[in-house]
Amino acid sequence: MKNRPLFLIGVLAAALLGLVMVAKIPGAAAATLVVDNDGLQCPLAGYTSINAALLDASPGDTIMVCAGTYPEDVVINIVSLTLRGAQAGFPTGARMFMGASESTVQGLITVQAANVTIDGFSLTNSLTNLAQNNGILVKTAGNTAFITNNIISAVGSLTLASNAQGIYLENGPDDVRIVANDISKIQSFPSAKGIYIGDTTATNASQNVLISGNSITNITSGDRGAYGIQVNNRAGQPGLVISNNTIDTLTGLGSLGRGWAHAIGLEGDTLDVLVVGNDISNIFDLVPNPMFGPDAIAVFFEDNPSFGTARVNQNNFDVTPLVAYGIAVHPALIMAFPNSIVDGTCNWWGDRNGPGPMGPGAGAKVSSNVDFNPWLIARAPAGACVGGASAPAKVTGGGQIPGDDPLFSPLGDLLSVPALIPSLADPNAQATFGFVAKCCPATGNLEYNDHQADVRIKAQSIDGPVIRSQRPGDSCPTIPGSKHATIGGRATVISSTGTETEDFTVEVDDCGEPGTADRFGIKTESYSNGWPIPSTLTGGNIQIKN
């Protein structure tokens, strides 16, 4: 049993308790069926292949697949079935693809029933089907599929004549969740995609799809497009959320003018799509069009009449400055809908001064019909969304009489009595703060002290502030005249582990007088308090003026 995963020990224990069934009684309660390809990992398993277990499975059952290699194509047409690999529930980052502790399927898994879960597998090309072009295929009937903790790698090849996809939602499955998978080395001669929703002729839209926390890397197309995530459906697809994914190294090889690389291609109608918190890097069109130049884009809108409803925020565009685009809208869409604007605010463009050349900075490019101001002045999540601030503004906070600024020494130490807010390290403890930030030009100071956590933050520079009215979901949207402000900059962060220089963001709410409803939150690269929802002051006041 040495070095065997705890999961397998649990499987053996279940087998010894008689929970493994070779055949099921019709009408029996949901059961667990155990599969072991060679009988070494789970000696009492009732099946040696996944397909054999599927023949006995009923709705609601779980098929537990012990570590080993399974060279078979699997078609799941049983509702509410759970397919659990040996690494079910374990994050992919600490695992080895096709390692000894993995349940490896060499072949295609197809979902043709609702409410199916696939958790904890390695998946790769079939040894016999050289034309395999998908890792997991979810067909129309696969509503509410949950695909998680899988490593999908080496699907397709550069000689493959059809498009290759790691995960493919075909013609309209709804409410699908694709979460925390590792997808890599997807290749084909035409387009290759990490995750693909729909196709160019589909009329059944996939609604309410969540794609979150996945790593998508090394996607290569020999003569067309390399995509991290592509949506391509003629029917509208509401409810799509693409969040907190890492997309890295997409390469369109291509002949002259035919290759491209789009990290997130929203190339079908995506009403109210939310693209937030993604890290995108290294996207390459190696044979640019001689007329239009490189076609390397982090977030691209094409054939998408709802692009003006999109929110693209808090993403990191670590792509080639002034060559690759952070956000781009196809010229045909701009001509058809000239008044539609993508909300592309609060993104990191790779440069503190924002995107270019249409923008003022030297970061990733941006097309027209994208609202990019304000932008993050450092990478998310620590970077403050204060880039481009130009309006006169003043924000102060601390334990002083309303309207007075906190007092600082020439060295930046807070001298006045500060306000008090709860500390996340200990809700019963106290953190003290005082700050002033003005524009324009941006000047000010800040000191913050979390006594319980022994963390002290002193501003080195101040950026912003950016002020806006309260919105639904903010702390005090119904109070007349209430405002929200964001302040950023660089700070010295002093803690028990040492002293670092880090980016910081402060979010504050001025909910009117006497200040009892005002809120304060702070975040650096290593610390946060009152984040993402600012904490209500236990004393003091916030003043926001513009």
pLDDT tens readout for residues 313-340 = 999 999 999 999 999 999 999 999 999 9
Contacts of 158 (CB under 8 A, 6+ apart): 187, 188, 189, 220, 222, 253
Handedness of CA 372, 377, 381, 385 (dihedral sign): negative
Residue 479 bridge partners (DSSP): none
* SS3 state at 379: coil
pLDDT in tens, 98-116: 999 999 999 999 999 999 9
Give 270-283 pLDDT, tens digit per residue. Answer: 999 999 999 999 99
Q: Is the pLDDT of residue 137 over 50?
A: yes
Measured distance CA(72)–CA(320) in Å, rounded: 41
What local confidence, expressed as pLDDT, does residue 476 receive? 86
Q: Determine the pLDDT at residue 303.
A: 93
The token pair at 244 is: 């907190």
Q: What is the pLDDT of residue 417?
A: 53
Considering the chain, what is the average pLDDT of its residues? Answer: 88
Q: Is it the case that residue 12 has pLDDT exceeding 70?
A: no
pLDDT band at 429 (very low <50, low <70, confident <90, very high): low
**Between residues 13 and 310, which one has the greater pLDDT?**
310
Q: When comparing pLDDT for 108 and 413, which is higher?
A: 108
Q: Over the range 21-37, which residues count as b (16 or more CB within 10 Å of their CB) and which as e?
A: beebeeeeeebbbbbbb
Q: What is the pLDDT of residue 256?
A: 60
407 has pLDDT over 80: no
Q: Residue 293: its pLDDT value, please?
A: 67
Q: Taking 80 as the threshold, does the pLDDT of residue 198 lie above it?
A: yes
Residues 6+ apart with CB under 8 A from 326: 298, 299, 315, 317, 319, 344, 347, 349, 350, 355, 363, 364, 365, 366, 372
pLDDT band at 257 (very low <50, low <70, confident <90, very high): low
Q: Dihedral, CA atoms, 492, 496, 497, 499, nearest 10 degrees?
A: 20
Which pLDDT does position 540 carry in this prediction? Answer: 85
Closest listed residue to residue 302, CA positions, set 339, 341, 258, 333: 333
Entry field: residues in the chain: 546
List, for residues 145-178, the tens digit of each pLDDT value.
Answer: 999 999 999 999 999 999 999 999 999 999 999 9
Contacts of residue 81, defined as CB under 8 A and 6 or more positions apart, other chains included, come to 57, 59, 60, 61, 62, 63, 113, 115, 116, 117
Tell me which of 517 and 71 has the higher pLDDT.
Answer: 71
Decide: helix, strand or coil at residue 93.
helix
> Which H/E stretch holds residue 135?
strand 134-138
Tell me what the mean pLDDT of segment 435-451 comes to. 92
Round to whole Å and give the CA distance between 326 and 344.
9
| Percent of the chain predicted with pLDDT > 90 | 71
Q: Is the pLDDT of residue 290 over 60?
A: no
Residue 401 has pLDDT above 70, yes or no: no
What's the confidence (pLDDT) of residue 5? 38
Q: What are phi and psi of 50, to 5 degrees?
A: -65, -40
Q: 464: buried, middle or exposed (CB in 10 Å: 19+, 13-18, 0-12)? A: buried
Model confidence over 496-537: pLDDT tens digits?
A: 999 999 999 999 999 988 888 899 999 999 999 988 888 888
pLDDT of res. 160: 95
Mean pLDDT of 53-67: 98
Alpha carbon distances (Å) from 486 to 223, 355, 438: 45, 20, 11
User: What single-letter DSSP state applies at residue 27?
Assistant: T
